[in-house]
Chain A
């Protein structure tokens, strides 16, 4: 890494003397392992040690970008040349320049960097990883005799290092580690087939609760066997955290200032308005202790912080990177993000979550006279238009009558729109659960009143 930083600096300094006002280099390196197990065998085992860099340059308030996976030899110069060439075609914009030194230092992020990386990941050999995956497959299959097979069992881990250097004197890097296991189970009963999945995601594989993955995937699969369609109606929805997180992710996306400023967010002009009918608090916290999206600084070097996005149901703040913050005459909230070194910084969430209550999900359920406990939704990407706000997704789960779960339901849709979703959210439970979803999104179970279900 040090070596690459030096090479990049040399290339950028040389270019800087020629024809750029400012530059930024984003360097990502990672060691990645993935194992797929099927029927007690290793189906796939892959590993890679990979690096890439992205150059962002500014010239007369125009920005250019180029990246390369080949970080040696003449390639860096070539990549930088291309970024400079690209800057000549983009539109000039007064807000287009790097964050300055005072942006890096305020407010200084006091995040404990050791929580982002677990040294124990090195103690876990490839054989250990294969064993844990095989073990999970074997215990999951024994969970219920109706389980007929595994549709997918994937283990992967990642040790990665991110470094940013820029011409304003910023130079810093951090390391993260992560391990992820995903299990999809198929169960059958008579002619009926049902699927269910679950996952574990931690800083090191030793911390993943294998038993919980097996149990949850099994329950989510077999509980829906024998599911049937029901007639179209309006009823209360109890959303499992697995589902509520997916809706919250969509809401999170349109709190980003980029969407707001471009007329692509229903939250535009709503700062200070009560969007939720109840007093919910929603935060984006890039410093959250157990947050898998926590970082010391964002994708352009600005310290991560905690932003109250909604307070008591009122929209308080959008999420900003440096560019969008300047446009709104405010400070960056440290929400510049990049999916990889292949893209320049955009605006994105970190650990985005709704604060849980002290009520249990059982208490909430007991008060429902006629409702639908939604265990899974499909078609999220095509069924939700974050710009127009329309929501219509496929759902499966269990019908609720007089506070009791009765029979499983499938092949129905639930439809509403984002603003109605917010206003019909009447309770959240105490079971906050995080999921990786273009950031790390957390939600407890949710109760929504009067939503249209479409079936027979």
Chain B
């Protein structure tokens, strides 16, 4: 996309009035989105984005500019303007560029550009039909398929550059079920760093069946209890609790700002002995995986917690320099318009020893939180809240009535110590995570987990 010689020239212009680091992030993106609602294709939209972000770091300060163009003159001019943000006596210099390689290698079978719109429509039609056939209570089905193909070129003054091409496909189904005056929803998504082969083996039908099952099951839900009790957290998307309540506090920018409860805790025990947690951006085809992060640093598997002991934080370039620790390949950005910040990729609690059955049977009275609508955390205090989208009462070791309108509320560091059992059924679920106004792809994951006591926010006191 950008020639090596041009890149080096731009990197040097950026440093002409001083500075410690300069970077180019060039991107071309083609995306398509097809949405079905009200039994018809309601929106078919495509986008072309092309642009380049230039970054200059001088001591504590980052200066950033972007242009919606990859024209050489536009870039040289933007670099010149940006370089004026710094005025030091000694000018900086970029080292000769060498390509950085990544071990993340995947094979794409079915490229989005080769897929006919008609094929995407047939998948959405199939999702719609199978959901509506699932139950006569289903009154609305919204489904969408988005795909993107991206080319990225990243180079920095430390002498590295990387070329990357990225392909992603995302599908989601949202169904609305109604019985009398009760309305419930069910949601399920499928997303990979893969081509359209993600729909092989009836994956679209499974998606639709699962979303329908949740909505219809929840029609008979009773009011959720209010108060403190044990909670069994379902596998896969249940990992969103760890992501929010702990993961964000391990992102190094929060630690540096003294806005993390996990500051100064490296090497200390922060969770119960059975907890091992990992952020791994190299898991093949996973939604949160990549060859290079948004700074051209290769993806990497990072142990966050090992048997309850805090092992590491997640870094981008700037925070790693500041804390004097190794980069972890977690400097991510939404696009060329954004400054990279430390972000999670695929974050999960690793397998334990118990079976899901035994875990549920060990609970006398509590809740089984199977699926979540998401959650939010204040990293400075560790306080979090999660909305349960599919949950059940547990009575004497049995899963009983579904419950509606429940949330879990607690505090990250406290809850980590209350994890009493971890199952073997590790699984993952895709999603989007928002931070600093940027949305990036993430996966969360975990086996079935037992929390000995947590506040359940229902309406039944």
**Most B Cβ at <10 Å: residue of A263, A343, A394, A411:** A394
A64 vs B33: C-alpha distance in the bound complex, in angstroms?
11
A264 vs B118: C-alpha distance in the bound complex, in angstroms?
28
* Stretch of B55-63, B289-297, B355-363, B442-450 at the chain-chain interface: B55-63
A90 touching B226, Cβ below 8 Å:
no
B164 → chain A, closest Cβ, in Å?
19
Known A-B contacts A44-B62, A45-B85, A344-B43; A67 and B48 likewise in contact (beta carbons under 8 Å): yes
Count, A-B residue pairs, CB within 8 A: 256
| Among candidates B183, B387, B455, residue contacting A379 with C-beta atoms closer than 8 Å | B387
Query: Chain A residues with Cβ under 8 A from B41's Cβ?
Result: 89-91
A394 touching B257, Cβ below 8 Å:
no
Query: Chain A residues with Cβ under 8 A from B47's Cβ?
Result: 66-68, 342
Q: Which residue of A lies closest to B375 (CB)?
A: A382
Contact with B along A79-123 (1 / 0, CB 8 A): 100110111111101000000000000000000000000000000
Known A-B contacts A391-B405, A393-B385; A69 and B457 likewise in contact (beta carbons under 8 Å): no
A186 touching B60, Cβ below 8 Å:
no
**Most A Cβ at <10 Å: residue of B49, B66, B339, B409:** B409
A456 touching B117, Cβ below 8 Å:
no
Those of A131-175 within 8 Å (CB) of chain B: 148-151
A38 touching B48, Cβ below 8 Å:
no
A165 vs B273: C-alpha distance in the bound complex, in angstroms?
64
Those of B188-231 within 8 Å (CB) of chain A: 224, 226-228
B376 touching A382, Cβ below 8 Å:
yes
Interface assignment of B461: CB less than 8 Å from any CB of chain A: yes
A85 touching B117, Cβ below 8 Å:
yes
| Among candidates A52, A86, A453, residue contacting B68 with C-beta atoms closer than 8 Å | A52
A69 touching B49, Cβ below 8 Å:
yes
Query: Chain A residues with Cβ under 8 A from B142's Cβ?
Result: 262
**Most B Cβ at <10 Å: residue of A44, A47, A51, A390:** A390
Interface assignment of A339: CB less than 8 Å from any CB of chain B: no
Interface assignment of A229: CB less than 8 Å from any CB of chain B: yes
* Stretch of A271-279, A329-337, A412-420 at the chain-chain interface: A412-420
A411 vs B412: C-alpha distance in the bound complex, in angstroms?
12
Contact with B along A44-87 (1 / 0, CB 8 A): 11111111100000000001111111111001001100110111
Query: Chain A residues with Cβ under 8 A from B337's Cβ?
Result: 48, 50
Interface assignment of A389: CB less than 8 Å from any CB of chain B: yes
Contact with B along A25-54 (1 / 0, CB 8 A): 000000000000011011111111111100
Interface assignment of B140: CB less than 8 Å from any CB of chain A: yes
Known A-B contacts A44-B61, A45-B62, A382-B373; A454 and B456 likewise in contact (beta carbons under 8 Å): yes
| Among candidates B139, B381, B387, residue contacting A193 with C-beta atoms closer than 8 Å | B381
B458 → chain A, closest Cβ, in Å?
6
A69 touching B68, Cβ below 8 Å:
yes
Q: Which residue of B lies closest to A452 (CB)?
A: B459
Interface assignment of A366: CB less than 8 Å from any CB of chain B: no
Number of chain A interface residues as a range? 35 or more
B376 touching A379, Cβ below 8 Å:
yes
Interface assignment of A176: CB less than 8 Å from any CB of chain B: no
Q: Which residue of A lies closest to B32 (CB)?
A: A86
A312 vs B169: C-alpha distance in the bound complex, in angstroms?
48
Q: Which residue of A lies closest to B35 (CB)?
A: A90
Number of chain B interface residues as a range? 35 or more
A451 → chain B, closest Cβ, in Å?
9
Interface assignment of B98: CB less than 8 Å from any CB of chain A: no
Known A-B contacts A45-B85, A393-B385; A70 and B375 likewise in contact (beta carbons under 8 Å): no
Query: Chain A residues with Cβ under 8 A from B373's Cβ?
Result: 381-383, 385
A379 touching B407, Cβ below 8 Å:
yes
Known A-B contacts A86-B44, A89-B44, A382-B386; A45 and B409 likewise in contact (beta carbons under 8 Å): no
**Most B Cβ at <10 Å: residue of A149, A262, A392:** A392
A387 vs B407: C-alpha distance in the bound complex, in angstroms?
17
B242 → chain A, closest Cβ, in Å?
15
Query: Chain B residues with Cβ under 8 A from A13's Cβ?
Result: none
A66 vs B43: C-alpha distance in the bound complex, in angstroms?
10
| Among candidates B63, B118, B386, residue contacting A46 with C-beta atoms closer than 8 Å | B63
A149 touching B258, Cβ below 8 Å:
yes
Interface assignment of B4: CB less than 8 Å from any CB of chain A: no
B248 → chain A, closest Cβ, in Å?
12
Those of A169-203 within 8 Å (CB) of chain B: 186, 193-195
A392 touching B117, Cβ below 8 Å:
no
B455 touching A456, Cβ below 8 Å:
yes
Those of B30-70 within 8 Å (CB) of chain A: 34, 37-51, 59-69
A415 touching B405, Cβ below 8 Å:
yes
A378 touching B43, Cβ below 8 Å:
no
A29 vs B85: C-alpha distance in the bound complex, in angstroms?
24
A86 vs B64: C-alpha distance in the bound complex, in angstroms?
35
B259 touching A151, Cβ below 8 Å:
yes
Known A-B contacts A42-B61, A392-B405; A69 and B50 likewise in contact (beta carbons under 8 Å): yes
A415 vs B403: C-alpha distance in the bound complex, in angstroms?
13
B66 touching A50, Cβ below 8 Å:
yes
A374 → chain B, closest Cβ, in Å?
13
A/B interface sample: 16 pairs, CB < 8 A: A67-B48, A69-B49, A70-B49, A193-B380, A193-B381, A232-B226, A263-B176, A342-B45, A343-B45, A382-B373, A384-B387, A385-B389, A389-B183, A392-B406, A392-B407, A394-B385
A342-B47, A393-B385 known; 4 new pairs, CB 8 Å cut-off, are: A69-B50, A70-B50, A229-B455, A263-B178
Residues of A within 8 A of B (CB): 38-39, 41-52, 63-72, 75, 78-79, 82-83, 85-91, 93, 148-151, 186, 193-195, 229, 232-234, 262-264, 266, 342-344, 378-385, 387-394, 396, 410-417, 452-456
Residues of B within 8 A of A (CB): 34, 37-51, 59-69, 85, 117-118, 120-121, 139-140, 142, 176, 178, 182-185, 224, 226-228, 257-259, 261, 337, 339, 372-381, 383-387, 389, 404-407, 409-411, 455-461
